[in-house]
Amino acid sequence: MNQIAKRFSLSKVTVLILFLIQLAVLFNVKPWKNAERKHALIDWDVTSYYSYLPALFVHNDLTFKFLEKDTINYSSKHQFWPETAPNGGKVIKTSMGMALMYSPFFIASHVCALISDTYLPNGFSKPYEIGLAFSCLIYLILGFSFLAKVFTRLFSEKITSVLLFAVFLGTNLFYYSTTEPCMSHAYTFSLVAILLYLVPFCIEKLNVKLAIFSGLLFGILLLIRPTNILFLCLFLFYDVWSVKSFSKRLKWGVSKWKHLIIMGVCCFLVYSIQLIYWKWITGDWLFNSYVGERFYFDRPRILEFLLSYRKGWLVYTPLMTLTFFGLFSGFKKTPWFLSIILLLPTSIYIFSSWWSWWFGGGFGMRPMIDFYPLFIIPVGYLLANSSKWMRATSYSCIIVFIGLNLFQTIQKRRNIIHWDGMTKASYWTFFYYPKMYTQEDWELQEKLIKRPNEELAKKGELEYIFDNVFYSKKEKL
């Protein structure tokens, strides 16, 4: 009986339910329906993540010289957008971590397209988009499976189940796993969940097998986005409470130096693929392919990042406000205490210092999704350790925030929530709208939104007047 209960625990059933929800929504939304047309799934950021694969397997040319020879205007179709290095080489803007994650599904899709009489094996037809959409489904269910194990070490099965539902249905992770499933965030979310699972085992009994696997995993994280180096602090500060325990961790590092070297070598081997590519194409081992883009660490837009109507993290994902309340609810008992205390403000500061603090088009503050496996933990302590009144309030808030997030996800899909031009006026004017009913609604929205001035932002100049209390004069007009 105990074996059956363990096999069908509440957390495992929850993971299965989340899988079925994502699967059902994917078939309902069909994000692959516009393949090779406007609003295709392979578009914008995904174009850069993905370009390595069709360039290599379809055109057999990672130097992109085929762009000069072919009659197809790939740029107008949003299929290839390489940057030009100082030496004239064509280099993909983003690193190749996502291409590595996509690759098994790309290869399967490519085989299907090759044997099909209906679809072109060009890397962008419907089989490829379907394959990429399902890659997100598989990686996310894997991530949730490991995250459930992380949570059950800390909380009851009930609270674990609530947290899993909350982080999926109550945050913009839901949008980025169903509507734009090929963006990097659901993938990184899953890798971080696996990393959270591995870290305690590494600290307790690090061996060669764990060192190799952890090193490879961390290498892929870095290959997806260099800022993921922040997750290194999970190894440094897990179960660290004081100077004495940190000193003990350093001694652990000295005693495990051979395993740490193995871990570092494995991480470097993964990332070296990118270094070799840069050297081959640009002539430099390290190359900044984000031409004209940078961080402004002396002028972070923290208030805008957190609370603006354009993209504010806590405005469009209010469930994460519970994380801040959870910091005061017995949270110090968790071994992740120091990691969260350090990473929460650090990630906000770094991302709000990027020139495009709103991170282009999208729904809410998408870079924060990568940290949700860690940042949702304080909410568990809020549910477990607070007073009866506070628990009831927290559960009520979670239900409300899930409902709001699902409704606003629909609004975002229908462009009621504009991808980068939201203002307080446009937010509240259409707050209850499940769709735009008339042409006049669209015209009113166009008057109320305010698009970002990217030229000013790239120079680090103020282009957004933060106003979260009153309508500005321009909005009134």
In sequence order, which ranges of 153-238 are alpha helices (DSSP H)?
157-169, 175-178, 185-205, 208-224, 233-237
Segments forming the whole domain that contains residue 466: 424-476
Q: Worst-scoring range by mean pLDDT, 37-41, 260-264, 270-274, 436-440?
A: 37-41
Domain boundary among 247, 264, 299: 299
Same domain as 429, residue 295: no
Give CA–CA dist 213/183, Å, rounded. Answer: 24
Report the percent of the chain where pLDDT is more than 90: 89
Q: How confident is the model at residue 72 (pLDDT cuts 50, 70, 90)?
A: confident
DSSP string, 105-162: HHHHHHHHHHH-SSS-SSS-SHHHHHHHHHHHHHHHHHHHHHHHHHHHTTS-HHHHHH
Return the pLDDT at 2.
54
Distance CA 285, CA 268 (A): 13
Confidence (pLDDT) at 241: 87
Mean pLDDT of the chain: 94
**84, part of any domain:** no
Q: What 3-state class would DSSP assign to 354? A: strand
Listed range (67-76, 192-201, 295-304, 313-322) with the worst mean pLDDT: 67-76
In this prediction, residue 471 has a pLDDT band, given cuts at 50, 70 and 90, of very low
Does position 469 have pLDDT exceeding 90, yes or no? no
| CA dihedral sign, ordered 46, 49, 54, 55 | positive
Check whether 476 has a pLDDT greater than 50. no
pLDDT in tens, 147-160: 999 999 999 999 99
3-state secondary structure of 73: coil
In a domain, 167, yes or no: yes
Does 187 score more than 80 pLDDT? yes
* Residue 454 falls inside a structural domain: yes
Q: Find all residues with CB under 8 Å of 193, minimum gap 6, and list them.
A: 143, 144, 146, 147, 150, 373
pLDDT at residue 475 in the model: 43
pLDDT at residue number 467: 74
Q: What is the pLDDT of residues 81-101, one digit of tens each?
A: 999 999 999 999 999 999 999
Q: Is the pLDDT of residue 51 over 90?
A: yes
Same-domain check for residues 295 and 428: no
pLDDT tens per residue across span 1-31: 455 555 679 999 999 999 999 999 999 999 9
Number of separate domains in the chain: 2
Confidence of residue 473 (pLDDT cuts 50, 70, 90): very low
Domain match, 293 and 432 both: no
Task: Judge whether 190 lies within some domain.
Answer: yes
Domain final position from 272, 299, 326: 299
Of the three residues 250, 282, 299, the one that is the final residue of a domain is: 299
Tell me whether residue 436 is in a domain. Answer: yes
Residue 65 maps to a domain? no
Q: What is the pLDDT of residue 273?
A: 97
Q: Is the pLDDT of residue 118 over 60?
A: yes
Mean pLDDT computed over 110-120: 95
Same domain? 295 vs 444: no
Percent of the chain predicted with pLDDT > 70: 96
Residue type, 239: D
Amino acid making up residue 218: F
* β-sheet bridge partners, residue 295: 354
CA 193/CA 187 separation, integer angstroms: 10
**Domain for residue 466, yes or no?**
yes
Q: Rounded to two decimals, what is the model's pTM?
A: 0.95
State residue 472's pLDDT score: 44
Domain membership flag for residue 166: yes
